[in-house]
Structure formats: structure tokens, C-alpha cells
Amino acid sequence: MASVDIRQVRKAFGTFEVIHGIDVDIGDEEFVVLVGPSGCGKSTLLRMIAGLEQISGGEISIGGRVVNQMPPKERDIAMVFQNYALYPHMNVFDNMAFSMKLRHAEKSLIEQRVRQAAEILDLTKYLDRYPRQLSGGQRQRVAMGRAIVRDPQVFLFDEPLSNLDAKLRVQMRTEIKALHQRLRTTSIYVTHDQIEAMTMADRIVVMHEGHVEQIGTPLELYDRPANLFVAGFIGSPAMNFMEGTLRREGDRAWVAAKGDLALPAPRGVGGSDGQTVVYGIRPGHLRIASDAEQGLPAEVEVIEPTGDNTLVFCRLGDIIVCAATTERHPLQPGERLRLVPQRDAGHVFDAATGQRL
């Protein structure tokens, strides 16, 4: 097991730069998720760590060794591909044993390691089967088995769950996390699914257009997003945003938005009086006011019950905001109500730079 250090790494295809100098330090035994919308460079970064793409600039080291010029097999990594990349003409045993066979490992050792991995992944029954005879989840496990057999310093996962159906995806997510807790192998996991990132990661690296937007634990990113992009990307349903002007009076600070709305800024917010800002609040932090309470006047547009909670989409001035409530309000579209933002749950971002204030 080893740490992975990424220093000022750049990637250009011809003259077109897709990754613009990224720094990430991944600790030993850590499970780090690279997340971002498609085209943000997360897969390219992973492939550079694997050695499948040349590094155009900067340095990647695994376990303290700079690997820039090292071929993939010397980097001591294993990779799980999105389409699993199982060899269709080899049965499960041979798929898992392939890397050891290439290294001319002893037969008994290969047998032992494959059986061990198969046991961990509950694949013992399927060792004679061919990939075509397996279900999606089983193939996924074989792909992981192939990685485990190699006993590498680092596991690399390239969107390994995106070919599975929703239910299996949740199940495999838990299995991968449990596997990491058992093996403690440093893991780098690429996904575009922020829920996958939140649930699995020790730390998340949010990427956008070839830059790192923020690095932190899942809850750090959720509670204190560094900028508008992270605020909008992490969390489902997404954060509500309203433009306005920051107002300060003594210790009190609020955001004055269109339609005479006063949105309470959290304590300790930066920025100066009169600054143009974006106010953000998560749907779960918008409460539907009781009859006696003051609040932001809104009109119900759409109601989406999910069971755990109910998402109420309301028109507030000229924008639509979403409020999530666990209570069962008998609401109807067109009904008027008042929304109460939880005081310190708001986020204020500079409108020009998008950075948190």
C-alpha cells in the first residue's frame, strides 16, 4: 500500500489542454473519489496514474517513486474498468489468474491467491464460468477479483458501477466500501455520481473543466462548499440559489434579494455591505412556516413525494426553489405558503468569482 502524490499534473492532447495543473495528495490506505461532470478530466487523470496516458507536465509518484516514465505494469497498480474489460475467452479463474501467469508465478500460489480472492467476493461457484455466463454484478466482482489477486499498492476504479442497474449499484457500492475497509488498499475511484462519491469516499476531489474545485471529506464539501460549482454539484436535490446584495448592520448580515426578500446570512460571513452575492440554501434547510410565523411568501408549483421526504417546488419571486420536508403537509399546486430558511444553514458566494464569502 502506498500514497499517491499528484503534483502540478497537466495533460494536453496536441495543443488542447484538458488538465491544467492539478495537485492532489492521496494518503496511504485512503479511499479518494474523483468526481465531476463528464469532460472534467477525472478519467484522464486516473488513466495518467495508471500509465495508459502520457503525462504532459508535472509529476505523479506512487509510494514515493516518480512513475511518469514507468510502464503500467511496473507501477504496481490494478484497475477496474467501466466495462470490466474481462477477457471473454477465459473463464473466471483464468481472468483472475492472468496477471500472475504473465509473471510466471508458481501454480500453487496462483491457485491460492485466486481462490482467496474468489472467496472474498463470493465467486467460488463461478470460477469455471465464462464472462458471458455471468450477470452484470458478477462480472463486476470478477473485475475486482482480478485487481485483488494482483495485491497492488493502489486500486484504480474507472466508473465501475455505471453499467449496473440502480439497485445493484447501491449494493455494489456498499460491497466496494466494505472491501476497502477489509483490505485497506489505497483506492482512487472515478465517478460522475455525487451520491456515489459522498457515500464511498474518505475524501472527495471535485473536478471541473480540468481544475480541482475543492478537496475535502464528504461532509466538509456538503457543509462548507468552497464555491458555487461545488455547492451546486454536491447534494441532491441541488442547492437553491438566489442573487442579491449583501447587507450589514451591526453584527447582523442578510442578503437582500429581488421582491423585498431578506435572506439571513450565516454568522461570520465575509464580504462587505453592498456586495453583489449569490445566496444558496439546501432544500432541507427551507422549512414550511406554520400559520403564525413570518417567512418568504411563495406559491406551490409542483409537489414530488419520495416517501422519505416530500420535495415542494415553489415560485419565490421570479425563481423556483425547492424545499424538502419530512412532514406530510396536505399541499396543492397553486397554494400560497411561507418558507423559513434555517438561519446558519445559508451559504453566501461572491457573484463575480463564485467563491464562498
Binding site for another protein (CB under 8 A): 50-52, 71-73, 77-79, 81-83, 85, 87-91, 98-99, 102-103, 130-134, 136, 146, 150
163/342 with CB nearer another protein: 163
Cβ 77 vs Cβ 19: under 8 Å: no
Taking a C-beta distance cutoff of 8 angstroms, is the pair 2, 63 a contact? yes
Q: How far apart are CA 125 and CA 143, in angstroms?
A: 16
**Residue 300, helix vs strand vs coil:** strand
Identity of residue 25: D
| Shortest CB 26 distance to another protein, Å | 18
Q: Give 37 or 137: the residue with its C-beta nearer to another protein.
A: 137
CB of 55 to another protein, least distance (A): 16
Which parts of the chain fold into alpha helices (H)?
A: 42-50, 92-102, 107-120, 136-149, 166-183, 194-200, 218-223, 228-233
Output 81 or 241, the one with its CB closest to another protein.
81
CB of 104 to another protein, least distance (A): 10
Residue closer to another protein, measured from CB, 83 or 174: 83
**Looking at beta carbons only, is 68 or 82 nearer to another protein?**
82
Rg (Cα) of the chain, in Å, rounded?
24
Are 335 and 288 a contacting pair, CB within 8 Å?
no
Residue 101 CA to residue 107 CA, distance in Å, equals: 8
Minimum distance between the CB of residue 79 and another protein, rounded to whole angstroms? 5
60 contacts 66 by C-beta, under 8 angstroms: yes
In terms of Cα–Cα distance, which of 349, 50, 40 is closest to 211?
40
Q: Looking at beta carbons only, is 146 or 282 nearer to another protein? A: 146
Residue 40 and residue 246: Cα distance in Å, rounded? 32
Smallest separation (angstroms) from another protein to the CB of 211:
26
CA dist., res. 248 & res. 254, Å (int)? 7
Closest to another protein by CB, 84 vs 233, is 84
CA distance 355 to 338: 29
Shortest Å distance, C-beta 46 to another protein: 12
Residue 110: CB minimum distance to another protein, A = 13
